[in-house]
Amino acid sequence: MQARETTDERPRRGRGPDPDGTRDVILAAAQAMMAERGIEGLTVSDVARRANVNRGTAYQHFPSRDQLVAAVLDRVAWSTKLSINATVPPTVSERIDYAVDYFLSHPEFVRLTMFRMLSGVPDPRDDLWAGFVARIRRLATHPGSRAGIDAEMLALMLVGATMFWSLRVNAGGESPRTARRFAREMKRLLLYGVLRPEAHRDVVAAVRSGRPKPRLRRVDSPARRA
């Protein structure tokens, strides 16, 4: 009797009747691998194995690594844009909370963004960044904000700080419980450098409500000191 081979016998997906579904499977596998390892070492063959798809099928969808990388980045940027545009809280304080929570709960997006910048790959969707800068510009030019604010630089600082903090949390350097502390200090910085407190009572209230209670200094009695 002929011995049965013990190699990987899982059926691999071919082109099949659902090419869009196969493409999504490939993109999901590539996205996970890029978030884990970065962009530089990614290959279409490795992604095909991760997705359990025939290598030839993967190359039919994405003839080159660069095309696959670009498709993944565009997919992530588009889903991020849809998510952000679908939920726009009404107050500045709530928007800061939402941004902090979004970055914390989407570590794959943060890691992919960092790997993309480190690899020098252009952003496939400039409209996502342009939309964020436009929102910061509207805040900067609002009557309730201070004069002379550079909206683009402010946008860079806000995103940079939030991304770095979320990376530290997901790497174990900070606890997720620091989210409220981080958001509170972000609001405090905006109050002192960007916003006029009298026009943003919601931010003032959020900062005040999160203040740590002062620690009482124990004073020993003379008998205790003796």
pLDDT per residue as tens digits for the range 97-130? 999 999 999 988 888 888 888 888 877 677 788 8
How far apart are alpha carbons 27 and 19 in whole angstroms? 12
The domain segmentation of the chain, as residue ranges, is 13-71, 87-211
| pLDDT at residue 211, as a whole number | 59
Average of pLDDT values for 139-144? Answer: 94
- The fold adopted by the segment(s) 13-71 is Arc Repressor Mutant, subunit A (1.10.10)
Q: Which parts of 11-86 fold into alpha helices (H)? A: 19-37, 44-51, 55-61, 65-86
Cα distances (Å, whole numbers) of residue 186 to 47, 58, 83 = 39, 44, 22
CB-hemisphere CA count at 13 Å for 123?
Answer: 12
Which DSSP symbol is given to 195?
B
Residue 169, helix vs strand vs coil:
helix
Question: Phi/psi at 145 (nearest 5 deg)?
Answer: -115, 160
pLDDT above 70 covers what percent of the chain? 84
User: Residue 197, Cβ neighbours under 10 Å: how many?
Assistant: 12
pLDDT at residue 27, as a whole number:
95
Q: Which residue has the higher pLDDT, 8 or 22?
A: 22
Structure tokens at 213: 């209670």
State how far the Cα of 145 lies from the Cα of 149, in Å rounded to an integer. 9
Predicted local distance difference test score (pLDDT) of residue 43: 93
Written as six digits, the tokens of 34 are: 């890029």
Environment class of 96 (CB within 10 Å of its CB; exposed 0-12, middle 13-18, buried 19+): buried
Biggest CA–CA distance in the chain, Å, is: 95
Estimate to the nearest angstrom the gap between the alpha carbon of 18 and the chain centroid: 31
Q: Which residue has the higher pLDDT, 91 or 126?
A: 91
